[in-house]
Amino acid sequence: MQLSFTTYSISRPQIIREQFDEEVVIVDLDTGSYYALGGAGGDVWSAIEAGENQSQIVARLTANYSGEQSEIEAATLRLLDELQQEELIAPQEGATQAGNTPDGGKATASAGDKPAFEAPILQKFTDMQALLLLDPIHEVDSAGWPAPKPEEPEMDAAPDHRGAPANPDSHLPNPI
């Protein structure tokens, strides 16, 4: 597998995430699916958010974990491919960052202190799709949540050609 200088963008605003200890939970608000990202996956997601390219992501993981670089590289590229297939990330058009910032500005562990590399794992869950799709967070505009969409003004129905209201029940008082 060949590393590239391809960078990725997170498919916002429909993708949100939260980190819980070593696990990242990602929610796709368009589909209602949610994902658990384990192993070194949280570090990969952080690197994507930081705008790092493939080479920089692998260099970050190699600097922070003990393991064979070929294993780290293969696992990272596999995860990036899965994230793209699930439409959680997308390659940025024409974005090819050069440079070798292995830690993305973060401190790296010394050789003796490095934890063993655990391949990133992406688990998909669909058991809460109906609930997540009913969530009022979807009723927002480009300003995001918690700013609700502005209400559309209701238009009074125009009277028909006889001058009567278009809705025959519109003359009844509203029930309490």
Q: Residues 28, 34: contact at Cβ < 8 Å? A: yes
**Is the omega angle on the peptide bond into residue 13 within 30 degrees of 0, that is, cis?**
yes
Q: CA-to-CA distance for 42 and 32, rounded, in angstroms?
A: 21
Residue 113 in any domain: the answer is yes
Domain that holds residue 53: 6-138
Residue 151 in any domain: the answer is no
Tally of domains within the chain: 1
Residue 38 in any domain: the answer is yes
Residue 167 in any domain: the answer is no
- Whether pTM > 0.85 for this model: the answer is no
Where is average pLDDT lowest: 19-23, 90-94, 172-176? 172-176
DSSP 104: T
Residue 24 in any domain: the answer is yes
pLDDT, tens digit (0-9, with 9 covering 90-100), for 113-156: 899 999 999 999 999 888 877 755 555 566 655 555 566 666 55
Residue 77 in any domain: the answer is yes
Q: Residues 8, 52: contact at Cβ < 8 Å? A: no
